[in-house]
Amino acid sequence: MWNIVGASVVGTSHSATGAPCQDFCAHRHVLIDGKSVVILALADGAGSAAHSDEGAAAAVEATLDALAILVADGEELGESAAFYVLDLAQARVRALADERSLSPRQFACTLLFAVISNDANMFVQVGDGAWAVKSHGRYHPATWPNRGEFANETYFITSPNWRTGFQFYSHPLSVDAVAGFTDGIQAVALRYADNAVHEPFIDPLVKVVAASGDSPSLQRPLVAFLSTESLNERTDDDKTLLIAARRKVHLLEWPTLTKAEMP
């Protein structure tokens, strides 16, 4: 049983100029033959593209649709499955651009998605942001922010060179929790010096999600957290954080009977 919560919050530089939030995230929790499978996706629309907020939303929705079908059909999770999903996400964005007679570049976005079931998982990314995986109590960066040569350049699923920015990872052990985030969060969530996940940031948040008995109610607190001053001081970009954690099982506490009470 998984708890999942995610939110995208507009950055202060965007709210100053009236630009919309160009990040988007969504998830599905599906049951296949009685086993739960978690499907997660997030995207960051390019600041320089006029309709990238719509591009990000379309790419995420198409990704979830494609992954749900893939999982329902029992397809193996692997690189070819990842390319199939990306192909559909790109096609959806292109179709959106065609409908409006605009260039797909106007809908440019990064894309991150993940599938986690009991016996398999995959983490896929084109562009920056990252996936952090918690397995057996330890954190691993499943992917890493993918940049071009310059700090303000990345790869978008709509770019001709998107394959250069493609990352695929499958964790060999069972996964307890995952966190996916866009570039607005990466400088506080990752440690660049040794390419590690900054556990003191991620883990307390993951624990909140794991301990919750009612994860949908965490949505609003997550939005409030992502809007706090202490985060805004460190980034003025849009911020997305999507966390999925196995729910901690609270064993019911039965009253213990003293010997005298026993029948």
213 to 242, contacts with other proteins by CB under 8 A? 218, 221-222, 224-225, 228, 230-231, 234, 236-238
Minimum CB distance to other proteins smaller for 65 or for 236: 236
Are 43 and 90 a contacting pair, CB within 8 Å? no
Q: Which residues 26-55 are close enough to bind other proteins by CB under 8 A?
A: 44-48
Q: What is the enclosing helix (H) or strand (E) of 189?
A: helix 183-189
Q: How far is CA 227 from CA 19, 185, 239, in A?
A: 16, 12, 9
**Contact letters for other proteins, residues 69-108 (x by CB under 8 A):** ----------------------------------------
Return the closest-CA partner of residue 238 out of 99, 106, 57.
57
Mention every residue, 6+ apart, whose C-beta is less than 8 A from residue 26. 6, 41, 42, 60, 61, 64
Which string of x and - marks every residue 129-148 that binds other proteins (by CB under 8 A)?
----------------x-x-
x/- letters, 240..259, toward other proteins (CB under 8 A): --------------------
Task: Considering the complex, state which of residue 37 and residue 205 has its C-beta at the smaller distance from other proteins.
Answer: 205
Determine how many CB atoms are found less than 10 A away from the CB of residue 236. 14
Nearer residue to other proteins within complex by CB, 120 or 188: 188
Residues 3-35 as b or e (16 or more Cβ within 10 Å = b): bbbbbbbbbbebbeeebebbbbbbbbebeeeee
Shortest Å, Cβ 233 to other proteins: 9
180 binds other proteins (CB under 8 A): no
Of 10 and 67, which CB lies nearer to other proteins in the complex structure? Answer: 10
Q: Which residues contact 194 (CB under 8 A, 6 or more apart)?
A: none
CA dist., res. 263 & res. 259, Å (int): 9
Q: How far is the CB of 157 from other proteins (least distance, A)?
A: 12
DSSP-derived secondary structure for 36-53: EEEEEEEEEB-TTSTTHH
Pick the stretch among 112-120, 167-175, 204-212, 255-263 that binds other proteins (CB under 8 A). Answer: 204-212
Q: Applying CB under 8 A, which residues contact other proteins?
A: 11, 13, 44-48, 110, 127-128, 145, 147, 149-154, 156, 183-184, 187-193, 198, 200-202, 204-205, 207-208, 212, 218, 221-222, 224-225, 228, 230-231, 234, 236-238
